[in-house]
Amino acid sequence: MPRNIDNFHRKIDYLRISITDWCNLRCIYCRPQGKWKKLPHEEILSYEEIIEISKVATNLGITKIRITGGEPLLRRNIIYLCKELSQLKGLKSLTVTTNGVLLKHFASELYRAGVHRLNVSLDTLDPDKYRRITGKNMFHKVWDGIEEALMVGFYPVKINVVAIRGINDDEIGELARLTFRYPLHVRFIELMPFLNHGSDSVDRFISTDEILSRLREVSDIKPVSSSNVNGPATHFRFRGALGKVGLISPISHHFCPTCNRLRLTADGKLRACLFSDAEIDIKTPLRSGASHKELEKVFHQAILNKPEKHSLKAMSGTDIPPHRPMVAIGG
Ligand code: SAM
């Protein structure tokens, strides 16, 4: 039996690596306001440690790695890490998720380092609203970064939009219409209840079914098949558009039966489910000199720990969100 198959016959071939828990934005749904404390430097995995764990991972059948955070472009020397990871035997895809604030500066170096796909988070096209959502006046920097990424040759560039009722739901059509002008994949993601906002999360939640009905009002839209069968998004295209629209429904139609992911947190914990706080520490054995074989066992155990499905049934408002906020897990 291959060692990347979990107890529910899912093939785990995708690792998301958070390289920092720090971010230069303060998105209202992602990072606790006020008292968020950055991890001490010594708690964070070094690049050599990340590369070592990634070698173990690719040996066990991981073929896709996404670098995330916090904001990954804030970590010094990220280009070095990308170059090293992109050369790992068995790795087919290396991607980065970023808020795009520093993307204009990094796009071409990232591309040359072997990263050819990017996800950029952008919830609005209105600079004032951007500031209200993220706490920073950075809309134009992000947009310049997206244009630079397209120019450098990234494909696809995916735009992640967290849909929030009363905040950006009036822009669903306009954001989706970007796909007429640019070869972007604009993906709407259901708001996940990470920050214990209680009934506010419920009121703000918009299901992807509702988003789809709003998209149908924009123009003629048809489902398109996806090349990545394991991806959580369902894809659509407006007639005549250059890009696609994706819908990601972690809450209303959860994709647990096809979930192929593991996460490595910046402080060296393997987390098998975004919504479960069960984690396995791989940093301690690594720092105590565990052999490659021993680390493989730890990794394999994390795969076997993957729950069948997450416990957040729906946005009931009484579900207990995960202990770590998204900024510290790695989205
Ligand atoms: N800083 C990078 C960025 O902004 O893309 C990477 C980290 S961020 C945690 C990764 C993704 O998680 C972003 O697309 C963000 O919108 C998403 N995210 C964070 N909190 C979320 C929530 N409560 N519900 C849905 N998506 C969320």
Render pLDDT for 128-165 as a digit per residue (tens, 0 to 9): 999 999 999 999 999 999 999 999 999 999 999 999 99
In a domain, 5, yes or no: no
For ligand 1, which residues put their CB under 6 angstroms from it? 23, 29-30, 68-69, 71, 97-99, 121, 160, 162, 189, 191-192, 194, 326-327, 331
In a domain, 304, yes or no: yes
CA 131 to ligand 1 centroid distance, Å: 16
The pLDDT assigned to 89 comes to 97
In a domain, 9, yes or no: no
CATH code where residue 285 lies: 3.20.20.70
In a domain, 319, yes or no: yes
What's the pLDDT tens digit per position in 242-299?
A: 999 999 998 888 889 999 999 999 999 999 998 888 899 999 999 999 999 999 999 9
Q: Dihedral through CA 193, CA 190, CA 72, CA 12, nearest 10?
A: 90
In a domain, 148, yes or no: yes
- In DSSP terms, which residues pair with 236 in a beta bridge? 223, 245
CA 4 to ligand 1 centroid distance, Å: 26
pLDDT at 314 over 60: no
In a domain, 217, yes or no: yes
In a domain, 66, yes or no: yes
Substitution site in 68, 164, 315, 326 for ligand 1 pocket (most atoms within 8 Å of beta carbon): 326
Global pTM?
0.95
Atom of ligand 1 nearest to the CA of 68: 6
Atom of ligand 1 nearest to the CA of 193: 23
Domain limits for position 128:
14-329
CB proximity list for 53: less than 8 A, separation 6 or greater: 45, 264, 268, 282, 286, 295, 299
Q: How many distinct structural domains can be found in the chain?
A: 1
In a domain, 1, yes or no: no
Residue nearest to atom 1 of ligand 1 (CA): 71
CA 56 to ligand 1 centroid distance, Å: 27
